Every structure is written in structure tokens, then in C-alpha cells.
Amino acid sequence: MKVLIIGGAGYIGSHVTKAMALAGHEVTVFDNLSSGLLVNLLPAAAFIAGDIRHADDISAAFSRGFDACVHLAAFKAVGESMVEPEKYSVNNLSGTINILNAASASGCRKIVFSSSAAVFGSPEYVPIDEDHPKNPESYYGFTKLEIERILAWYDSIRGIKFAALRYFNAAGYDPSGDIVGLERNPQNLLPIVMEVAMGWRKELQIFGNDYDTRDGTCLRDYVHVSDLADAHVNALAYLEREGKSLAVNLGSEKGVTVTEMVEAARRVTGRDIPARYTGRRAGDASSLIPTSALARSLIGWNPRLSDVDTLIKSTWDVYRTYRTPTERA
């Protein structure tokens, strides 16, 4: 299929681009490079520079004719969304509407959408299944849930079939080393642990050790980004085969606490990784663990790389090739 990958130069998008190309699709990346990186553009993909906030940019891209698109272009910082909601409204919400209108006008009837565990808010029970109540606790999470609802309307009115993939904690890097871009100003645990291991940060702050978990630190489900990428390929095949929309949770179903992650990182990297317990971070749930049974049964998804050691080693193998956060050694 001819597939347009919107946000394909970003961290997850570049892994999706690789997986789609390996699956035999003809891939084109559309990205404004605001957080995506040129170094992430894979030779297998054509590239269109453009911005989803500009309806003309995205219409021009779709007019080239695509069978399907993957939409990963979004702002994703939960904390920022609570202080600058306008950015999230314009990019995540209006940008997605521009995409859907352009897809609709051009006859593209399949979309794989990057959704998030943030649609659920604090769990009322774990593991979280797809029917769990959806009460996002950040504006970011709200934008993802709202887009899922808009997708359902474009499905019923325009016949655009969608796969909403609700990622839990994405981590890791392409194990064969084809993707080496580091996110600028990372906010997530593993990149920050790596920056401490590299000596770019003095220490890791562990946000709270008084949670109701086995060691008091937050329990999360980390899933390898290449496993997530495979889910996009499988989801697209499902849309083609079944002609029906779906929304599924994507996690490894292996809960790991912050302390366990740090200890594993010390072992795998052989570095000290100084860490200090600090207060809780606002908005953190104690445990966020999904069941991915539906993804297994509907799209045949089986994560293969989401064990802690592979997550850390594949990330470390990229970080250690850098001298500074922006300069490769």
C-alpha cells in the first residue's frame, strides 16, 4: 500500500516508518521537524516537509494519492498541556481535523492513529482493558480521547476506518541501530536515566517512594518502540482485511517500578546512575498496567523486545554513541 506517515521523523514515527517499509509498503513521511529529526528520516521513505496546522500543506500531501495514513504528529508533554492548552488544541485537535478532511477529500479511507494510555486517567482497576472508563486527567489526554471520538464520526459519516492504538510507556530503540536521533529535552524516565548514565545530568529524581506498589515507586508498563511499530503494520492489515475500525491498548503486560528500572539500568550500562527520592509528581498514577489481550486476538500483536534488558540495552547502544545530547561522537 502507499502509506503517508504523518510525524514519521519523530521517535515513534521513525520506527513505524521502518516497520512499514520492511512490511513492503511504499512509505512517505510528512513532518514539520519541530521535534522530529532529519537524522531519523530513513532512506526507504520519501519526505514531504509540511505542517498539519496548515490545511493546504496536508491537502497537497494527500493529493499525491495514498491508500492509508498513520498519524503520529502531536505535542505530547502532559505537564505542558496543562499550561499551554492552546498549542494542543491547534496542533493535536485542529491538525487532526485537517488530516481527516484532506484524507476524506482525497479518498484515503484508512488511518492508524497514535492514541495514549492518557485517555483513561487514574485507573479504577488494573489491568486496564479497552472498556475501562475514560476520564483523562490532562488536556493532552483529553485531545487524544476527543480525536478517538472524531475518528468514530468520520468512520460513520465518511467511511474512514481507523485503528486507535493506545500506547502505554514507549521505550527502547531500533535494535539494528538504524534510528539514532535523541529526543530534545526528554521528559520520560528512560531517556533521563540515560542522560544521567552519560554524565549529562547529575542525578535522577525519583518522583515518590510512598506509592502502594512493591517498592513504593510507580509501576508502569514499558513497551519497546519496535514492538509498537509492528502493531501499526498489523493494525493496517486488519483495516484492509476486516474493513472495521478498532481501538486497542498496547502494553507489554510487564509492570516495572521506577526503582527496578534504575537498578536494571545500572547493571546493563555498568554506570553509577545517582538517584534521589523526591516528592511525588502531580498527576502520576500509582500503577498503569493494561491488558493487551484484545490487540493479541484482533491484530495478532505479540511484543518481542519489551523485556527490561532489551529496552535498556537498545537505548544505551544509541546514547553511548553521543558525546553531548546533540553531538555524536
Q: Which residues are catalytic?
A: 140
Does position 220 interact with ligand UDP (CB under 6 A)? The reply is yes
Q: Which residue is nearest to ligand UDP (CB)?
A: 218
Applying the rule CB under 6 A, the residues between 62 and 121 that interact with ligand UDP are none
Does position 169 interact with ligand UDP (CB under 6 A)? The reply is yes
Nearer to ligand UDP, 176 or 185 (CB): 185
- Figure out which of the listed residues 258, 289, 311, 318 binds ligand UDP, where binding follows CB under 6 A: 258
Stretch that binds ligand UDP, among 23-31, 50-58, 155-163, 202-210 (CB under 6 A): 202-210
Stretch that binds ligand UDP, among 54-62, 141-149, 188-196, 245-253 (CB under 6 A): 188-196
Nearer to ligand UDP, 206 or 294 (CB): 206
| Shortest Cβ 192–ligand UDP spacing (Å) | 4
| Shortest Cβ 168–ligand UDP spacing (Å) | 8
Please check whether residue 193 is in contact with residue 319, taking contact to mean a CB–CB distance below 8 angstroms.
no
Cell of 295: 490487540
User: Which of these, 147, 183, 174, 184, lies nearest to 162 by C-alpha position?
Assistant: 147
| Shortest Cβ 179–ligand UDP spacing (Å) | 19
The string of DSSP codes covering 105-129 is: HHT--EEEEEEEGGGT-S-SSSSB-
Q: How far apart are CA 219 and CA 212, in angstroms?
A: 9
The string of DSSP codes covering 259-317 is: HHHHHHHHHHH-----EEEEPPPTT--SEE-B--HHHHHHH----SS-SHHHHHHHHHH
Element (H, E) at 257: strand 255-257
Q: How far apart are CA 119 and CA 115, in angstroms?
A: 8
Other beta carbons less than 10 A from residue 191's beta carbon:
19
Q: How far apart are CA 136 and CA 122, in angstroms?
A: 8
Does position 207 interact with ligand UDP (CB under 6 A)? The reply is yes
Q: How far apart are CA 139 and CA 101, in angstroms?
A: 23
| Shortest Cβ 259–ligand UDP spacing (Å) | 9
Query: For ligand UDP, how many residues bind (rule: CB under 6 A)?
Result: 14
Stretch that binds ligand UDP, among 35-43, 52-60, 80-88, 182-190 (CB under 6 A): 182-190
Does position 128 interact with ligand UDP (CB under 6 A)? The reply is no
**What Å distances lie between residue 161 and 26, 36, 112, 113, 280, CA to CA?**
20, 26, 9, 11, 40
User: Which of these, 178, 260, 189, lies nearest to 226 by C-alpha position?
Assistant: 178
Please check whether residue 14 is in contact with residue 34, taking contact to mean a CB–CB distance below 8 angstroms.
no
**What Å distances lie between residue 82 and 34, 115, 124, 136, 165, CA to CA?**
20, 18, 22, 12, 23
Does position 286 interact with ligand UDP (CB under 6 A)? The reply is no
- Figure out which of the listed residues 104, 122, 205, 209 binds ligand UDP, where binding follows CB under 6 A: 205
Instruction: Tell whether the torsion through CA atoms of 92, 98, 101 and 107 is positive or negative.
Output: negative
Nearer to ligand UDP, 122 or 188 (CB): 188
Does position 259 interact with ligand UDP (CB under 6 A)? The reply is no
Does position 281 interact with ligand UDP (CB under 6 A)? The reply is yes
Does position 246 interact with ligand UDP (CB under 6 A)? The reply is no
Cell of 16: 513505524
| Shortest Cβ 272–ligand UDP spacing (Å) | 16
- Figure out which of the listed residues 63, 135, 156, 187 binds ligand UDP, where binding follows CB under 6 A: 187
| Shortest Cβ 220–ligand UDP spacing (Å) | 5
Does position 150 interact with ligand UDP (CB under 6 A)? The reply is no
Which residues contact ligand UDP by CB under 6 A?
Answer: 169, 187-189, 192, 204-207, 218, 220, 258, 281, 284
